Amino acid sequence: MAEATLCKVCNKNEMAFNCNECGIPLCDICKKEVTLEEQTPGAKVKGDVTMSTLRPAKRKLKVCPKCMAEADFF
């Protein structure tokens, strides 16, 4: 039977995701979510809301606490 991969932040829980920035395994408790507004040429901007029928206006990234503090997402 294969061993479950543990989260590299807490080393206690089983991994559920990989960090979108550095790729380390993360559990559901240690992950941080960043919501980014998509700014593409095909999207119409109406006020502060991006409207597009082709793709979602927001994208969620799952990152580790270290990348959350160091990475520039904007």
The string of pLDDT tens digits covering residues 29-72 is 999 998 887 665 555 555 555 555 565 567 789 999 999 888 77
d(CA 43, CA 51): 6
Going by pLDDT thresholds of 50, 70 and 90, the confidence category of residue 26 is very high
- Give strand ranges (E) for the chain: 17-18, 25-26, 32-37, 44-46, 49-51, 58-63
pTM of the model: 0.68
Question: For 9-14, what is the mean pLDDT?
Answer: 94
Going by pLDDT thresholds of 50, 70 and 90, the confidence category of residue 1 is very low
d(CA 33, CA 23): 14
